[in-house]
Amino acid sequence: MSSRTRSRRRTQKVPAGTTTVRIPRQRGRRSAQPFVVIVPERRSLAGEMAAGLALMAWDHRRQLAPLALAVAALPLTGLLHWWAWWSGLILAPFAAAPLGWLAFALLRRPAGRSVLLWRLGLTLGATSVLTWLAMAAAFGPLAGPLLALWLITTIAAQVAWLVIRRTDDRRIHTEA
């Protein structure tokens, strides 16, 4: 029996990182074809980087909420434009809804300066997002300056989200 056909002893040391697969001895015909098992030892560098980025995104998923919504909205509006371009006409009146909310809030619940600034900021952000949504559904998300407007709105929303969450976290830690 040669060393190639003889199986290794079970106590034999295997180098680190090596995957061993034990195939039982085949019984029956001697002319049977051998099994070939290919087992990758490590993931590729691209696979490692993708896994690392996915893990990082999962760990920081709350901080990345506006970015995830914006990235999801881009292909969805493209699909909506392709499927029914006239849906932009239906979505256009919704762009005025934040202004109606602001008027209602100012009349029903008057507030101080800081609350007024918050309401104005929220109204401006929601109006710009809904306007972009209606225009992207009507003309396509890549038409004209809509992609640049999407990028600016996404960056602004993400920065505002991070700043607001950071000040809220500081306020919670100082109260405790």
The reported pLDDT for the residue numbered 42 is 76
- Please tell me whether the overall predicted TM-score, pTM, comes out greater than 0.75 for this model: no
Torsion of CA 50, 152, 74, 62, to 10 degrees: 50
The reported pLDDT for the residue numbered 43 is 79
The reported pLDDT for the residue numbered 106 is 92
- Cβ atoms within 10 A of the Cβ of 73, count? 19
Residues of the chain with pLDDT under 70: 1-26, 28-36, 39-40, 173, 176
CA pair distance 51, 58, nearest whole angstrom: 10
CA pair distance 95, 93, nearest whole angstrom: 5
- pLDDT (tens digit, 9 = 90+) per residue, 100-118? 999 999 999 988 999 999 9
The reported pLDDT for the residue numbered 138 is 95
The reported pLDDT for the residue numbered 171 is 72
Q: How far is CA 53 from each of CA 46, 92, 96, 154, rounded to the nearest angstrom?
A: 10, 37, 38, 20
